[in-house]
Amino acid sequence: MNAVPYAEFELTAAQSRTLAEHLSYVNASPTQDFESFRMQVAEIMTRAAPADLTRLLCTVRSRSAHMPAVLLKNGPLPHVLPPTPSADASATPYNLPSTAFLVGCGLALGRIYGFANERGGALIHDIVPVFDKVRSRSSSGSRITLDLHSEVAFHHNRPDFVVLSCLRNPPTAVAATLVADAGSCLDEMAKPDVHQLQRPVFEFQVPHSFAAGTPLAARMLPIAVRRTYGWDVRINCNPDHTSTADGAAAEAMARLAAKLRAASRRIVLSPGQVLILDNKRSVHGREAYDTDYRGADRWLQRIYVGASAGHENPDQPPASPR
Ligand SMILES: O=C(O)CCC(=O)C(=O)O
Ligand SMILES: [Fe+2]
């Protein structure tokens, strides 16, 4: 094991240029008129995306190959990059070809959606360091290492895919993203541990914003569920984020967390790169990093993609436990 947990796909310079040119014609704001933005992007991607890329995204979506994460390289970038936003409020109103490319990839994977209790339901999240959240255990807190986690692990409609697009990651203060192949780690664990991890005895911490808003089904959940494609893993290794009162289950969870950390790989995203994380087959995190809040800090854009019926109405509690 310890193979790199991600596949790579590099667009040629010509492919990237062509896509950037076509996508720059999208005439709608991604934050203010997403419906129109989405339709224009979909149409352009159908015409201008390289066939190999379309095929790859189709494979990721169907989970028909072992691809816990995929790194796309040399994606379209704007000619002039605006300053890094200072807040995580998804405020970038204009079309950047990189935003259009991110959305285009997301549309090929499923439904792009948001949660009412997460960034006000925004569909495109600016992942930037935020001054007054510097020590928060969130994607806005640059001084804290985010340990490996499934995105929105506690939620019954957690994303199938999390897609991160890098606009800026300054060499003087880079942050590395961490990725581990959770399915392979589970496959290597002892049978009794795997059995423990499949028991619905784990609790997942719910952030205040979600706890105060739409009710979530209060449940004890398993960490690992067997699906037709392999293991579906749900865990947040940050302190106290996943817990259980059951001793044997707690020990199995600690061994899985240790295995994930040992297997994790650092990916220093650079501008133009898009990282597709299968949120059921991989876990991810981010190392702490330096910032100066003068507009040149690290900047990613992120979307959540769902592939099941629940994602059409993600804030509703599930009709029955799943
Ligand atoms: O900043 C990163 O590289 C990833 C942070 C993270 O966990 C996320 O955006 O979901
Ligand atoms: Fe995350």
Phi/psi class of residue 295: alpha, beta or left (left: φ > 0; alpha: ψ in -120 to 50)? left
Please check whether residue 313 lies inside any domain of the structure.
Answer: no
Domain housing 108: 7-307
CA-based nearest residue to 318, from 82, 78, 140, 156: 156
* pLDDT tens by residue, 19-70: 999 999 999 999 999 999 999 999 999 999 999 999 999 999 999 999 999 9
Q: How far apart are CA 297 and CA 143, in angstroms?
A: 13
CA of 149, closest atom in ligand 1: 7
Three-state secondary-structure class, residue 167 = strand
Question: Residue 196 maps to which CATH number?
Answer: 3.60.130.10
Nearest to 59 by CA among 7, 10, 18: 7
* Position 319 in a domain: no
pLDDT at 176: 96
Give nearest CA residue, ligand 1 atom 6.
Answer: 139
Predicted local confidence at residue 1, as pLDDT: 47
Residue 286 domain-assigned (yes or no): yes
Q: What is the pLDDT of residues 91-129, one digit of tens each?
A: 677 889 999 999 999 999 999 999 988 888 899 999 998
Residue 317, in any domain of the structure: no
CA of 123 to the centre of ligand 1 (A): 15
Distance 248 CA to ligand 1 centre (A): 31
pLDDT at residue number 238? 95
> Could you tell me how many helices (H) and strands (E) the chain has, helices first?
8, 15
> Which of 98-107, 201-210, 243-252 shows the lowest mean pLDDT across its residues?
201-210
**Residue 314 belongs to a domain:** no
Ligand 1 pocket: which of 300, 301, 305 to mutate (most atoms within 8 A of CB): 300
Structure tokens at 79: 């000619």
CA–CA gap between residue 236 and residue 150 (Å, rounded): 6
Q: What angle do CA 260, 262, 263 make, to 5 degrees?
A: 65
Number of domains in the chain: 1
- Whether the predicted pLDDT of 90 surpasses 70: no
Q: Phi and psi (nearest 5°) for 258?
A: -65, -40
Ligand 1, CB cutoff 6 Å, lining residues: 127, 139, 146, 151, 162, 177, 284, 286, 300, 302
Give the Å distance between the CA of 300 and the centre of ligand 1: 8
- Does residue 211 belong to any structural domain of this protein? yes
Residue 312 forms part of a structural domain: no
Angle at 205 between CA 212 and CA 225, to 5 degrees: 120
Tell me, yes or no, whether 315 lies in a domain.
no
Has this prediction a pTM greater than 0.85? yes
CA of 21 to the centre of ligand 2 (A): 31
